[in-house]
Amino acid sequence: MVKKKNIKNGELPEIRQREICRGAMKVLRKKKFNAASMREIAEATGMSLGNLYHYIDRKEDILSFIYEDLMDQIRECFDGVIRSHESPVDQLEGVIREFFSLACRMKEETLVILTEARSLEKKDLQELLRQESGIVSAIEDIISRGVSRRVFRCENPYLMANMIAFNIWIIPLRGWNILTKHSENEVLEQIVGCFLRELGASKRIHSDK
């Protein structure tokens, strides 16, 4: 994982990191990662090339920055849902809705990560996969709690969690085809309904039994 450098003049690393991500995405919307230059990314970020190199060592670090930004927002969404709901049913539905909304908002960033991950060094790719596995594990924990409280029926929470995680990213992956016939909201309601029914729950269940 990219280590954030010391920032001069009291500036917060997270602020600069997000600025770099946004600037990089302006460039990556127009050309492939390998074709994008550091100078172009610096200009899109609104800083000099030398200043950009103050924060990163190499272009590949930007992919890690984009992924870290995405993961940070996912963790914020997840923590917010867990704090807001006690029932595993409400927690799972909330997680699906919040993650799906985030995936739709950040579909370009998601596609960049999925298509350009091969440009990462092995250790950075392993960290990316580790963090993604952590999200799946958190969904698995919700399902397992629901099973223990008898509001879900599921023989394999791990597999179900992976299926949910994959479907959450369906708009970045398949939106080019699906959105010609269905809205994002229609897709979301279909995902929520399918998984809650598969787990033996209902969207109308909002408390443990």
The pLDDT mean for the chain works out to: 84
Kindly indicate the confidence band of residue 2, based on its pLDDT and cuts at 50, 70 and 90.
very low
Residues 6+ apart with CB under 8 A from 179: 171
pLDDT digits (tens, 9 = 90+) for 163-193: 999 999 999 889 989 999 999 999 999 999 9
pLDDT digits (tens, 9 = 90+) for 28-72: 888 888 888 999 999 998 888 988 888 888 888 888 888 888 888
Q: Counting beta carbons within 10 angstroms of the beta carbon of residue 125, is it exposed (0 to 12), middle (13 to 18) or buried (19 or more)?
A: middle
Q: Is the C-alpha dihedral spanning 195, 197, 199, 204 positive or negative?
A: positive
Q: Taking the domain 61-198, which CATH number applies?
A: 1.10.357.10
Alpha helices (H) along the chain: 13-28, 38-45, 49-55, 60-84, 88-105, 107-116, 122-148, 157-168, 170-178, 184-198
Separation between Cα atoms, residue 167 and residue 165, nearest integer Å: 6
Give the pLDDT score at 13: 62
CA-derived radius of gyration, the chain: 19
Of 38-42, 80-84, 115-119, 147-151, least confident by mean pLDDT is 115-119
Q: CATH classification of 8-58 is 1.10.10.60, yes or no?
A: yes
Rounded to an integer, the average pLDDT of 147-162 is: 96
Residues 140, 158 contacting (CB under 8 angstroms)? yes
Where do the domains of the chain lie?
Answer: 8-58, 61-198
Q: Counting beta carbons within 10 angstroms of the beta carbon of residue 21, is it exposed (0 to 12), middle (13 to 18) or buried (19 or more)?
A: buried
State which amino acid sits at residue 155: E
